[in-house]
Amino acid sequence: MGLGSYPEIGLGDARELRAEAALSIRAGRDPIDDREEERRARAAGRTFGEVSDAFLSVKEAEWRNVKHRDQWRQSLSVHAAPLRPRIVAEISTSDVLAILQPIVSRAPETASRVRGRVEAVLDYATAHGLRAGDNPARWRGHLEHLLPKRQRLAQGHHAALPYEAVPAFLARLRGIETIAARALEFAILTAARSGEVYGARWDEIDVDATLWTIPPSRMKSGRVHRVPLSPPALAIVETMRPFRTSEFVFPGQKYGKPLSHIAMGKVIDRLGVAGATPHGFRSAFRDWAGDMTAYPREVAEAALAHTIGDAAEQAYRRGDALEKRRALMNDWALYCSGARPNE
């Protein structure tokens, strides 16, 4: 019978636990059974829903991406809804299969993500002494023998319009007078990630310096990113000023909340444009910069907030080529408006 690991369990603690186990044996009981009963008692009343909410409250602080947080909540509150009222210590393999089998054939990627997230919550419960035994949501050596294997797809990229089609798309986009449309236009003109635009705050915008400074906490790289604002991008900021109701430049329908992370995609769907995603416009920008301009690769990559070079090069390169990027973004805005850079 294991008593715990050193140094969490010291010598004195181990002696006390050994003495308690000896008393159980003299009383005709199995001390291992006693310990399992104690664990079950601690777990009584703790449902999967309660444990998953506790897990998310701990882990969400690590996730900068709003969309990522929403996807976890969707998996654990919608797809895993039948598990939420169940006592976490009593969840079995059949319970996990009951939520996965209805979706594994029609949405294998979703099923895979749900399974992994349920597994993480159950591991969290085990670590906190709320359940014991093997994890019934484990794939390797367990569910892989009970569910069809997901076909692996070749690693691809976000669907993107060719840069030649961006000016025409933007002309149509400007005919839609919604906050989501302005957010998408702003994302295109700044070549920013969707999450960075959804979370854009007024205190990040310096109108006088025509600069948008995104803090490290909101960047995928974990480093501050300065975005020079072209005249059309700055005009969008001014357009949003009368709608200011919170800290967010692009407010959502709920007070104090930003736009939903699917808002830009819905605008594209409304326009009926196939083969386009919000993130794909970053690829269009990068292709345009490489094919149609003489700007150095490093400048274009910096505009996308990509890490450039190895660790040594990054250590010696302290600047972010802001003014060169400002010229690049101004030229991109001109191109998107259907003009040539020298016009």
pTM: 0.59
Q: d(Cα 250, Cα 191) in Å, to the nearest integer?
A: 16
Q: 202 and 297, same structural domain? A: yes
> What is the pLDDT at residue 319?
62
AA letter at 94: S
Which domain range does residue 90 map to? Answer: 48-145
Neighbours of 154 (CB within 10 A): 4
Q: 32 and 82, same structural domain? A: no
> What is the pLDDT at residue 310?
47
> Locate tokens 């909410």: which residue?
53
What are 86-130's pLDDT values in tens digits? Answer: 999 889 999 999 999 988 887 788 888 899 999 999 999 998 888
Q: 216 and 85, same structural domain? A: no
Q: d(Cα 210, Cα 205) in Å, to the nearest integer?
A: 8
Could you tell me if residue 136 is inside a domain? yes
Q: With a cut of 70, which residues of the chain have pLDDT below it?
A: 37-45, 64-67, 150-159, 308-319, 339-343
Q: 301 and 239, same structural domain? A: yes
How many folded domains does the chain comprise? 3
Assigned token pair, 146: 């009970």
Could you tell me if residue 110 is inside a domain? yes
> What is the pLDDT at residue 4?
81
Could you tell me if residue 158 is inside a domain? no
> What is the pLDDT at residue 315?
43
> What is the pLDDT at residue 328?
96
Could you tell me if residue 253 is inside a domain? yes
> What is the pLDDT at residue 153?
38
Q: 56 and 36, same structural domain? A: no
Q: 325 and 176, same structural domain? A: yes
| Domain end residue (candidates: 145, 178, 202) | 145
Could you tell me if residue 2 is inside a domain? no
CATH of the domain at 135: 1.10.150.130
> What is the pLDDT at residue 74?
87
- What residues does 47 pair with on adjacent strands? 87
Q: 287 and 272, same structural domain? A: yes
> What is the pLDDT at residue 39?
65
Could you tell me if residue 198 is inside a domain? yes
| Domain end residue (candidates: 81, 116, 145) | 145
> What is the pLDDT at residue 23?
77
Could you tell me if residue 343 is inside a domain? no
SS3 sequence of 182-206? HHHHHHHHHCCCHHHHHCCEHHHEE
Q: 170 and 55, same structural domain? A: no
Q: 199 and 317, same structural domain? A: yes
**Cis status of the peptide bond prior to 216, with omega within 30 of 0:** no
Query: CA quadruple 80, 85, 87, 88: dihedral positive or negative?
Result: positive
Could you tell me if residue 192 is inside a domain? yes
Q: 288 and 224, same structural domain? A: yes
Backbone dihedral region for residue 45 (phi beyond 0: left; psi -120 to 50: alpha; all else: beta) = left
Q: 301 and 170, same structural domain? A: yes
CATH of the domain at 189: 1.10.443.10
Q: 293 and 204, same structural domain? A: yes
